[in-house]
Amino acid sequence: MTVNFFRGLAVLVAGAALVLGFGGPASASEPSSGEVAAAVKAADAQLSAFFGQLDRRAGVQRANVVQAPAVDGSPQPVYSLDPAFVAGKPGAAPASFAFYAVRASASTGRQATVWVTPEAGGWAASNFTTGTEELTYPAQAGGDLVFTEPQVNAWYRVRDGRVLALNDPARRRVGEGVTLAAYQQLVHRLYGDKLPGSAYRQQGKLGGYDLASAPAPVAAPGTGSWPFVAGGALLALGLAGWATGKAARARR
């Protein structure tokens, strides 16, 4: 059985700032532990519902009283492929800040990755997922830039002017690694005609899907990453393409 957590997504996506879910704000100061905890607490009802759905999918009976989910660990900054880089702008950084990811744990032992995004006056939980990529790969950064190419769930490290793969989708893109210039040429060829203002965007397409005819993404049975949109902040940041892509990959 599948469960749809993206009701109305196709309609809302039309207002997203970036057609492919590339990037986000140019920068953002790291939220304090208190701000992260407050953002997660404010989304307690949605997060509890998310954990409840996971339990039901697994056939687990929940207790009548379930302790509120708690933040577990420090937030990790997530960087995503930048539209200026995709457009071929000289000197553009390959990625820009998108959101912070933090782990939340339920009293049942279940865990979720929470996307924490800036909003006016603070931070908000905008998405939940069972995947852990947004935590594990940024944690490996050290002094390097670690970023994602969200359309194929590829994760990379930039070191000494080269783009190096961190997972299998990335290795299928760059093998043992390519120069930054070569990677820019690659993503420009793949996505350059899909940026805001392009005919692709004007036709209402997003992340490789025609939203005028495609069904709303649904959660997939079995294991794997399982996203849940908590509020409008995800779409306002133009990250809908990422969530849509992850849900679509889960169906395949």
Question: pLDDT tens, 134-193?
Answer: 999 999 999 999 999 998 999 999 999 999 999 999 999 999 999 999 999 999 999 988
| pTM value > 0.85 | no
Query: Distance of alpha carbon 58 from its chain centroid, rounded?
Result: 24
- How high is the pLDDT of residue 241? 41
List, for residues 59-112, the tens digit of each pLDDT value.
766 654 556 677 888 889 999 999 999 999 999 999 999 999 988 888 777 888
- How high is the pLDDT of residue 67? 62
Closest to 126 in 3D by CA, of 17, 243, 19: 243
Hey, is 93 helix, strand or coil? coil
As a whole number of angstroms, the distance between CA 142 and CA 23 comes to: 21
- Check if the beta carbon of residue 105 is closer than 8 Å to that of residue 72: yes
Closest to 98 in 3D by CA, of 136, 149, 139: 149
What the block records as the tokens of 164 is 């190096």
Alpha helix positions (H), 18-103: 33-42, 44-57, 83-86
As a whole number of angstroms, the distance between CA 24 and CA 101 comes to: 14
Within 167-235, strands assigned E span: 178-179, 205-206, 209-210, 228-229
Between residues 242 and 138, the one the model is more confident about = 138
- How high is the pLDDT of residue 160? 96
List, for residues 9-44, the tens digit of each pLDDT value.
222 222 233 334 444 444 457 788 888 888 888 777
* C-beta neighbour count of 232 within 10 angstroms: 13
Closest to 107 in 3D by CA, of 58, 62, 54, 45: 62
CB-based contacts of 155: which residues, under 8 Å, 6+ apart? Answer: 133, 137, 146, 147, 148, 149, 165, 166, 167, 169, 170
